[in-house]
A and B are shown apart, each in its own frame.
Chain A
Amino acid sequence: MIDRRIINGSKIDSELADDMTKAGIDRIRSCIQCGTCTGACPSGRRTAMRTRQLIRKALLGFREEVLSDPDLWVCTTCGTCTERCPRKIDVTEAILYLRNLACQEGYMRPEHRAVSVKLIETGHAVPIDDEKWSKMREDLGLSPLPPTVHSYPKAVKEIQHIIKKTGFDKLINYKEGKEDDKT
């Protein structure tokens, strides 16, 4: 069904496109809505995501609508749209920028939050969280723990120091000692 809408001025964020321009997606206002990005998109081929539409909505300032749209999260960041955009707009970066805003507004998938918790607690987004992986390493002639943060507790502290400074812990509402590590 065609969705006939009257655009309600109070819902428009007229600064969104300017913010994106300042954040490095400097050519976004030159979008001609050609749809090359949509045509190039492997995700859009099997989902309702329309890259061109996301860009259009961002340009129009439909902030809430874009940020709450689950389709924002089906982009694989493959970069094909960016390569093919005739106006040389960094479309992929635009999507990442919008995702950052979406997270600030609290639109984060639980699975993504879980990955973030792992990063905060171990320094690895995909850590050794089961002995079988260490065993497998040993069977292959490797050290049971890799020479990464896993072997250097001080390094994990450094990551946590960074995360506190950037406020990433607050962004994901991290609760020290109270996270269920089965997530």
Chain B
Amino acid sequence: MTKHRYSFFLGCVIPNRLPQIEAATRLVAPKLDIELVEMKGASCCPAPGVIKSFDKDTWLAIVARNIALAEENGLDILVLCNGCYGTLIAGVHDLKDPETRARVNKILKGTGHQIKGTVTTKHLAEVLYMDIGMEAIEETIIRPIEARCAIHVGCHLLKPSDIRPWGVVEDFTVVDELVELLGATSVDYKLKDMCCGAGGGLRSAVLDVSLDMAREKFEAMTQAKVDCLVNVCNFCHLQFDVGQVQVNKEFGTDYQIPVLYYTQLLGLAQGFTPKEMGLDRHYISVEPFLEKIGMSV
């Protein structure tokens, strides 16, 4: 089998707040013949909702530096976060314009990096679905997961659609298919396509509005009687896991929906233990979900 090699972009939240997602991803990757090549010295992407909101030129110059690191590796970028994806894919797109590239390279002068425009950015879901393929993933599964899952895709995986590889914005089924491949059921719920509420600087500065969005989703998922929520973005993950505790406190609710990042669910299906997938590190207990599938932490 050919090895699939990528420049592995970590961002901020995964390595610095949710390392369980990093650990899970590093464990499942070799089984799929994915080699994660480090991007040494990579920074914040920088976050599209905050830094791009404050100063687009600074945002673009820092993205360019990150993309340059991947160019130096000679490998396309693999990201796990929809926010990083949004930034890096927009960065790659904006920097295709020679004038913009020249302007940004002037800013980069003195950092030892220059951007050429030779790599592209791929989200984990794209790598799994398009580069690795369903068949190859299926071959690694030794323990099917029978559970009812609420899928949350997240906004920036799909939008803006003109610089995304999917060809659709609504009726997007890639993540549902990836989850069902593991033996699970993707359960429809009200407001499935709605934003988690974390982006745009809301989680940091307008928390009440941010949590109200998550609350609405928790209510809908609870009504749909799901066993867990599966996401493909660590920032959505943070909002749903940490934010669920905050929602319960703010709104007097008692939502208890276990939150899993896709590679954690995949890892369980590949035979890794819940501990190896970092499931004992969650803010909302994952125990009820594990019990349902006959495991425990």
A-B contact count (CB 8 A): 203
A112:B50 contact, CB within 8 angstroms? yes
Which residue of A has the minimal Cβ distance to B194?
A42
Q: Which residues of A contact B19 (CB under 8 A)?
A: 133, 136-137, 140, 142, 146
- Contact partner of A76 (CB less than 8 A), chosen from B44, B107, B200, B278, is B200
Give residues of chain A (20-36) contacting chain B, Cβ–Cβ below 8 Å: none
Q: Which residues of B contact A73 (CB under 8 A)?
A: 200-202, 205-206
Q: Which residues of B contact A162 (CB under 8 A)?
A: 58, 61-62, 65, 107-108, 111
B42:A149 contact, CB within 8 angstroms? yes
B160:A83 contact, CB within 8 angstroms? yes
Total B residues in contact with A, Cβ cutoff 8 Å: 64
Q: Which residues of B contact A159 (CB under 8 A)?
A: 43, 62, 65
Contact with A along B209-223 (1 / 0, CB 8 A): 110110000000000
- Choose, from A2-10, A11-19, A51-59, A119-127, the stretch at the interface: A119-127
B16:A166 contact, CB within 8 angstroms? no
Q: Which residues of B contact A141 (CB under 8 A)?
A: 23
Contact with A along B1-42 (1 / 0, CB 8 A): 000000000101101110110110010000000000011111
Residues of B within 8 A of A (CB): 10, 12-13, 15-17, 19-20, 22-23, 26, 38-44, 46-58, 61-62, 65, 107-108, 110-113, 155-156, 158-161, 169, 194-195, 197-202, 204-206, 209-210, 212-213, 278, 281
Residues of A within 8 A of B (CB): 42-43, 46-47, 73-80, 82-83, 90, 92, 96-97, 99-100, 103, 108-109, 111-112, 114-116, 119, 123-128, 133, 136-137, 140-142, 146-152, 154-155, 158-159, 161-163, 165-166, 168, 171-172
